[in-house]
Amino acid sequence: MPDSPHPTALITGRRAARCPFEPAAELTALREQPEWPVIPRHHPFFGQFDARAVARYDDVRAVFAHEHIGADMNADADAPRTLFNQPGFLLGYDGPGHLRLRRMLAGAFTVRRLQEMRPRIEKIVAEHLDAMQESGPVADLVQAYALPIPSLVICELLGVPYADRADFQHRSAVLLDATRTQQEQFANYAAMHAYMAELVARLRAEPGTGVLGEVIGKHGDEITDEELVGFGNLLLIAGHETTSTMIALGALALLQNPGQLAAVRDDEDVATSSIEELLRHLSPVTYLDRRATADVDVNGHRIATGEWLSLSVLAANHDPALVGGNAGLDVHRKPVPHLAFGFGAHQCLGQQLARIELKAALPALLRRFPELRLAVPSERIEFRTFSPIHGVTSLPVTW
């Protein structure tokens, strides 16, 4: 069987057919090349362009950290509105503009505040386990567990009505589907923008206690409504997509490794440390784009101003330079400094929230259902291939 069943998928995100958690053979080979090869890159909003592929751990980390390589997609008032051309969308800012906006959100994501949320998160997890048990013994783990838990958490954190979750989940899925046409993406983002703009207008009148309301209360005179829309859409999408993906993928990876599943289920210390190993091994955010804002040298590679870079987080997290000769899943591995949350100025603001949710959701699932197993043959599980965020479309389980 060939390693990549989807040859048109971006090479920096290709996974092996024999194990959809590992890099494809051609991606591993690319990582070993001395130069960063130029690859064709199609972006749903920016169209077709060439990018340098960066896949070694040391190189990806260095690019993430470089002050003159950034997102460089700041809002352009004359261009069509998209998530990547939206004031307040943090991933499209660099330098002082990025620092100004990130500081406004930082207070909502302190370790202390997020730890205070732990009891509520554990209650949400228990409620969904109860519902699964009552309706079982078969369930789609994505729809019954992995998707609703982080969706409810981020709705409560932002002050977004949970009743709206189906709409924003659908819009998020379209946004992350690289097979959609540019016209579909523009229309989809227009709907996202309209929804969030209406919510921002309501919060301006009555801020409430959610993150957006707190930003309005503390920085209302410093931030525009359009920037609040960018904040809201970024947090709403990032706050549920990657964590829900990790819950489902983490469960699947452990179901395929019964001995490691038992260790996570039965040993509290392993359950805690395994979250970092699962994040590294699964690398849900498979690749990210960056662009040079000046002529720079990175680890001996000369990059010209304006050049695009496609960073393979997947290949970097499986690099022997990080994990030695065995990059396979090992929940007993001492945590390594993986790049699942990025690195540098744009490192994920909500990473501690994701860790708390994963630590609450995965061990509890395995303990509630010690006989948990797949309800279909593993080869029938469908993966989201044409997306920067790896995941499964559904995960039928039984117990």
What percent of the chain shows pLDDT beyond 90?
Answer: 68
DSSP secondary structure code for residue 334 in this structure: P
pTM: 0.91
**What pLDDT score was predicted for residue 76?**
66
First to last CA, the chain: 31
Using CB atoms within 10 Å of the CB of residue 219, give its burial: 0 to 12 exposed, 13 to 18 middle, 19+ buried. Answer: middle
Distance CA 20, CA 295 (A): 37
Average pLDDT for 225-240: 88
Q: Is the pLDDT of residue 377 over 90?
A: yes
Helix orientation angle between 225-255 and 211-219, rounded to the nearest 10 degrees: 150
CA distance 357 to 339: 19
Mean pLDDT over the full length of the chain: 90
Instruction: Please give the pLDDT value at position 6.
Output: 37
Q: Identify which of 113, 350, 111, 159 has the alpha carbon closest to the alpha carbon of residue 242.
A: 350
Averaged pLDDT, 142-154: 93
Burial zone of 326 (CB within 10 Å; 0-12 exposed, 13-18 middle, 19+ buried):
exposed
Q: How confident is the model at residue 219 (pLDDT cuts 50, 70, 90)?
A: very high
Question: What's the rounded Cα separation, in Å, for the pair 147 and 324?
Answer: 33
Which of 86-100, 289-303, 373-387 is predicted most confidently? 289-303
| Mean pLDDT of the 276-293 span | 95
pLDDT for 74: 58
Give residue 77's pLDDT: 65
pLDDT mean over 15-22: 90
Work out the pLDDT band at 29, boundaries 50, 70, 90.
very high
Question: In sequence order, what are the beta bridge partners of 69?
Answer: 292
Q: Which CATH superfamily is domain 79-280+322-398 in?
A: Cytochrome P450 (1.10.630.10)
pLDDT for residue 170 is more than 90: no
Pairing of strands 308-312, 287-292: antiparallel
Q: In Å, how far are 75, 178, 205, 231 from 226, measured between CA atoms? A: 10, 25, 16, 9
Question: Cβ neighbours of residue 357 under 8 Å, at least 6 residues apart?
Answer: 121, 149, 150, 153, 243, 247
Q: Are strands 138-140 and 396-398 parallel, antiparallel or unpaired?
A: antiparallel
